């Protein structure tokens, strides 16, 4: 969780207290709901974010996934799915 908080601060530009709150909300949401709400969250983000924000999100996702030294196949697949749901092109995914 510390790595996620640090990435939200360094990549996302969030204050530490806000980053800590987001990590805690994500942890609780994941525990209680699993991935059932992921599509709804991604769809809403696609609606409100511009292209640069979507690419920045992918960058943050890769940073969180790589925090333990490598990105697993499952993590890569999940990020690819998110990129697809955000209507990002494959070249954009590869570029990030």
Give the pLDDT of residue 28. 72
Give the pLDDT of residue 30. 63
Q: Would you say 82 and 42 are in contact if contact means Cβ atoms under 8 Å apart?
A: yes
pLDDT in tens, 25-75: 777 766 555 555 667 778 888 888 899 988 988 998 898 888 888 999 999
Q: Could you give the dihedral angle defined by the CA atoms of residues 8, 13, 14 and 16, in that order, rounded to the nearest 10 degrees?
A: 70
How far is the C-alpha of 81 from the C-alpha of 75, rounded, in Å?
Answer: 10
pLDDT in tens, 60-73: 889 888 888 899 99
How far is the C-alpha of 22 from the C-alpha of 28, rounded, in Å?
Answer: 10
User: 């998110």: which residue's tokens?
Assistant: 82
Per DSSP, 87 falls in state T
């Amino acid at each position: 969780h510390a790595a996620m908080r640090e990435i939200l601060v360094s990549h996302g530009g969030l204050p530490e207290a806000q980053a800590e709150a987001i990590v805690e909300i994500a942890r609780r949401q994941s525990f209680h709901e699993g991935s059932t709400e992921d599509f709804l969250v991604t769809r809403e983000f696609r609606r409100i974010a511009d292209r640069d924000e979507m690419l920045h999100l992918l960058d943050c996702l890769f940073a969180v996934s790589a925090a333990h030294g490598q990105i697993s196949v499952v993590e890569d697949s999940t990020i690819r799915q998110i990129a697809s749901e955000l209507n990002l092109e494959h070249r954009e995914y590869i570029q990030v």
